[in-house]
Amino acid sequence: MKKEKLPSKVDCLPCLGLVPSTIYENSPLPLIMGLGAYVNATQSPQLAERLMTVQGVRIYMESVSEEFRTTTTHWFARLEINLIATLLEVYLLIENPMVNIQLVHQIALFLSISMQTCDGYLLPRLFDRVIFNKKFFRSEVTDLGNQLQNLQIGQDPNQTVSSSTSTAVYQDGSLTRQKHLNVALDSLEMINLCYKKELGIEGFHLLNPPDALTACLYGTGPALPSDWNFLPIVHLYNIDGKREDATEVTVRCLQWSLILECMRPAFVCCVAHITVTSRFCRLACVLLAGNDLFRDTKTWLDEVLQAILVYQDYLDFDKPVRGLKSFYDFYRQILEQFVAVSYGDPVFGRFVLVPLQQRHNIKLKKLVWCELGAVLRFLSTPVSKVPIEKFLEPCETDPDLLYIYLNSLAQGRVKETFCPVLYRVAVHHVSTYITRYPDLPAARRLAQMVQALGNQELKSLLM
């Protein structure tokens, strides 16, 4: 009796899984790759449109761009990555594409972090024709003012953002944000040149004879890391910003980072899966890349920081950050640099203040209030520039830190005139603790210390 043939496990196209569909008998990948190669060879817009509007192809292209992939660094994935690159080339042949151009741009971004080293020669063309091509932002630019109202502060960075609302970060200064985004979009050509130079892909070319799909001379690792937009900044940090074009490079990187944060948040959060903490730390590298670089790029630095802090509820400085041995040591570097060169710069001060929010580790607060108390004298960032409620709740309950707060207030180490945020923090937590926990020994001791103060104005604030 003839054994019944099992149906294929492949419903449509492969999906970069742990067990790639390419190994199954009825995989459609060879057929689709062949069709794509044929269409690209004929350069036929009509054939290109017919292929890209096939329902299965459309669904597949949507699915591969919607989530982070951890299985793209093996040989079978390389076949599928080449399929996606082929289909992207097919799309570019269409004269009046009906496919969502934001989707196509997101697929190109996905390719930029999935392309394996042996296929790196495809990156310059990908950068030129899609990633840094302003036409892929055209529809968004025309409605940028409205789009800046869409994304809610505190949104879950892991939540998939739909294409209709994936383009905006709301801030009170949305008109300023719109202006900066337009400037950044007008600079895409220069941004492209900068990244190709800094990432070293200008010289990428197809090997002759070409590297076969069955052999990888340079391994199957990704040609670019998922956070390649920050790579030039990290490089400047490693060399202390000692380059004549450091300001130019930093501005271009910040402009592109602003575009990604505001107009491609779904890619940053869900596909590249760069955590909010990682983005904050990489951005903070600008502060440490020389003594004046942060000052020369302050406008763009502030804009990108605001965009990242939309997700500040998901910052977690206790979790490991790739590339950092210890956030505590990194933060100490920031504090020492702040004291040395900032002259109380309010933008630099915002970076210093973020880890001091109540939800973060108390050892970061003690680092500022005890070990590096000189920070207090320069931290002049106004209360209006921070979400002050995040510094006030929940009430501080650590007795040692509360004693430090009170002593700093009594000794005049923090005053509203030169350290407004932390002055308000100290007053609030000491007074709230005394009022809320009057029967605890620490609260009684604090109350006694307040009663012994000679400063009647301060005493009235705390009691």
Q: Which of 57-61, 82-86, 178-182, 329-333 has the lowest mean pLDDT?
A: 57-61
Is the confidence at residue 2, as pLDDT, over 70? Answer: no
Query: Average pLDDT, stretch 412-437?
Result: 95
Q: What is the pLDDT of residue 32?
A: 87
Q: pLDDT tens-digit profile of 443-454?
A: 999 999 999 888
Q: What is the pLDDT of residue 314?
A: 94
Q: Where are the domains of the chain?
A: 1-124, 132-150+174-200+224-324, 359-462
Q: What is the pLDDT of residue 114?
A: 85
Written as one letter, the residue type at 202 is E
CA distance 154 to 386: 14
Query: Average pLDDT, stretch 404-426?
Result: 95
What's the token pair of residue 454?
A: 């000679």
Q: What is the pLDDT of residue 100?
A: 77
Query: Average pLDDT, stretch 357-374?
Result: 96
Query: Average pLDDT, stretch 63-80?
Result: 68
What's the token pair of residue 457?
A: 């104005």
Q: Give the burial class of 247: count Cβ atoms within 10 A of its Cβ; 0-12 exposed, 13-18 middle, 19 or more buried.
A: middle
- Can you say whether the dihedral through the CA atoms of 241, 247, 248, 254 is positive or negative? positive
Helix (H) or strand (E) holding 152: none
C-alpha atoms less than 13 angstroms from C-alpha of 304 in its C-beta half-sphere: 30
Q: What is the pLDDT of residue 150?
A: 53
Per the prediction, the chain carries an average pLDDT of: 84
Q: What is the pLDDT of residue 176?
A: 85
Q: What is the pLDDT of residue 442?
A: 95
Q: What is the pLDDT of residue 120?
A: 84
Q: Tell which residue, 278, 315, 263, has the closest CA to residue 138.
A: 263
C-alpha atoms less than 13 angstroms from C-alpha of 146 in its C-beta half-sphere: 6
Is the confidence at residue 165, as pLDDT, over 60? Answer: no
Q: What is the pLDDT of residue 229?
A: 95
What's the token pair of residue 161?
A: 């953002």
Which phi and psi angles does 116 have, rounded to 5°?
-80, 160
Q: What is the pLDDT of residue 462?
A: 86
Question: Comparing 94 with 96, which gets the higher pLDDT?
Answer: 94
Say which DSSP state 67 is in: S
Query: Average pLDDT, stretch 401-424?
Result: 95
- My answer on whether omega of the bond before 420 falls inside 30° of 0, hence cis, is no
Written as one letter, the residue type at 301 is L
Q: How confident is the model at residue 161 (pLDDT cuts 50, 70, 90)?
A: very low
